[in-house]
A = this chain, B = another copy of it.
Amino acid sequence: MTTTPETSQSEFLSRAEAIVGAQHVIGVDSQDGYLDPYPLQPGRAPWPGVRPGNTEEVQEIVKLANETGTPLWTFSKGKNLGYGGPEPRTRDMVALDLERMNRIIEVDDQLGYAVVEPGVTFFDLFDYIQERNLKVWLSVPALGWGSVLGNALDRGYGMTPYGDHAKQICGMTVVLPDGDLLKTGMGAMTGTDLGPIFQGGFGPTIDGLFTQSNLGVVTQIGIWLMPWPETYINGDIKVEREEDLPLLIDTLTQLRREDVIQNNALCGNVVRAVTMHGPRSHWYDGEGAIPEDRLEEIRHELGIGQWNAKFAIYGDHGLALRRLEIIKERFAGHDGIEIDARTYRGEDGVRIAYEDIADRDKTQMAGVPTLKPLSTINYLAEDGGHIDAAPILPARGEEVWAFYQDVKKLYAKHGFDLYIGYHLYPRHMVHVTMIYFENNNEEMLGRARELYTELLALARSKGYAPYRSHIDYMDRIAEGFDFNNHAMLRFQQQLKDAVDPQGIIAPGKQGVWPARFL
């Protein structure tokens, strides 16, 4: 694997000052350098970067990177926690930090879309909408400080009907690896309003190429927003018996396929609830994973189920009430399953008051950005970190149950509590588990890495793969896509070398390396 000579990097950083200004170049030894806050491999030093202020500066920076042979690692806010944060694949890259580009270009609350730059966070967009009383709701991920654009490009999820964020992208502005500028979809025409309105264009659709990608630097996207609902219901399903998981999954996903439940429902276990009432030491201070009998005690103390699902309903009041009724009908007659729901109704022309929706799990389903889940990071230690281990599975209850049994054994074997927060979609589910650890605790990190590696292998043996990846595992996961001698990766690399012959943009992102690094 080629590395960039230090001289080239220092030449790049020094010449970049003329493009973005010296104050926006973070040098190799700067205190402001970039770092993953929860590294799986500790001991990394901060690394340097540049912060362009607009698309033209990005173009200039990319051209300079080509001239000096300096690979760039792009991110919007670098808040991809549990996946490496701002960290690059190799240490010779320079951060292309887009957070200064933070303009909200437009929000249209009749047709329901926003146009934003990479530095716009979920908080920013939420505040913008509230200040103007616009008639739209956001979809937000667990933490609101991340980039709307960055999250969508990494194919992240929120928890409203618009929760599959990549699917809401409508029109992109992209700086190509040679510094050229491209607009996708209808925006590829001058003088059109259709960019953020219609997702298709003419000829092959290329938008997907720029998700989880190193084929360009996206500096603007259109993203669709949902109309604010008259009524919002959030519901909890408490399931007493562990073995009712298949029933729960099959019923909830059938309701989702029928569009009775309109968002991706969430299904958590007892450990998940414990992390929200942490730290762990408050509940258990023994070695290894919390034993089942202690978890059962905690469960009763917290008054929760073995499984605790959450769903939401949005829209017309009459429709919302009937939806809730159907959900109750489907679970009726099953012992040990309880449904509880709260209804919030807006007045005529006035939105539902977010402050009435108290619980943070509920506000997330209402598209309200928050930082509250951040506290769970201290579950195991005051200086805590985590990695997300989240393969995609078919939404088939018995199959999920079988995988869950195996995962439970793996976590116990490595002495970790099994945190589960499943996300349920119409046809698939994301088997979200988390591994919490103490930062820089090498013994614990070693176990975490082993567990994660074994979990990936187990998933792959069943034909499952994660929907996104920590930077340390991108090659391994890409390796699992092995049909016809890795035809997919070979094709992705062919595209990479065609549009980025110098291998400048984010080499190794999702396992796609340019030829010069191979």
Contact = CB atoms under 8 A, between A and B. Distances in A.
A205 to B, nearest CB: 3
Interface stretch (A67-75, A194-202, A285-293, A363-371): A194-202
A396 B111 contact: yes
B215 A209 contact: no
A204 B427 contact: no
Nearest to A481: B188
Contacts of A326: 316, 318-319
Given A111-B427, A176-B491, A316-B326, A203 B510 contact: yes
A278 interface: no
A257 B197 CA distance: 12
Given A316-B260, A464-B194, A498-B495, A202 B487 contact: no
Interface in A147-165: 155, 161
Contacts of A262: 259
A429 to B, nearest CB: 9
Interface string A467-488: 1010000000110111110011
Interface stretch (A38-46, A87-95, A177-185, A352-360): A177-185
Contacts of A194: 392-394, 428, 463-465
A113 interface: yes
B206 A315 contact: no
Contacts of A180: 484, 487, 490
B394 A193 contact: yes
Interface string A456-470: 000010011111010
A511 to B, nearest CB: 6
Contacts of A427: 111-113, 170, 197-198, 224
Nearest to A478: B202
A182 B316 CA distance: 45
A482 B392 CA distance: 40
Contact of A183 (B227, B488, B512): B488
Contacts of A258: 227, 315-316
Contacts of A110: 396
Q: How many copies does the complex hold?
A: 2
A166 interface: yes
Contact of A209 (B206, B211, B395, B467): B206
Nearest to A229: B258
B204 A392 contact: no
B487 A498 contact: no
Nearest to A485: B180
A303 interface: no
Nearest to A224: B427
Contact of A512 (B203, B394, B512): B203
A31 interface: no
A213 interface: yes
Contact of A463 (B193, B203, B204, B484): B193
A454 interface: no
Contact of A206 (B166, B208, B484, B509): B208
A79 interface: no
Contacts of A298: none
A488 B188 contact: yes
A428 B198 CA distance: 6
A210 interface: yes
A494 interface: yes
Given A189-B483, A204-B215, A208-B208, A488 B182 contact: yes
A382 interface: no
A133 B426 CA distance: 21
B481 A182 contact: no
Contact of A201 (B254, B322, B488): B488
Contact of A202 (B181, B315, B497, B510): B510
B208 A204 contact: yes
Given A200-B155, A204-B213, A428-B198, A463 B191 contact: yes
A491 B202 contact: no
Interface in A103-129: 110-113
Those 4 A-B pairs whose CB atoms lie nearest each other, nearest first: A192-B463, A205-B208, A498-B498, A203-B510
17 contacts: A112-B427, A182-B491, A184-B488, A186-B392, A189-B463, A192-B463, A194-B428, A201-B481, A202-B477, A204-B212, A205-B208, A208-B209, A224-B427, A227-B254, A227-B257, A316-B322, A319-B326
Given A190-B482, A322-B322, 7 more contacts: A111-B395, A192-B465, A227-B254, A258-B316, A259-B262, A494-B499, A495-B499
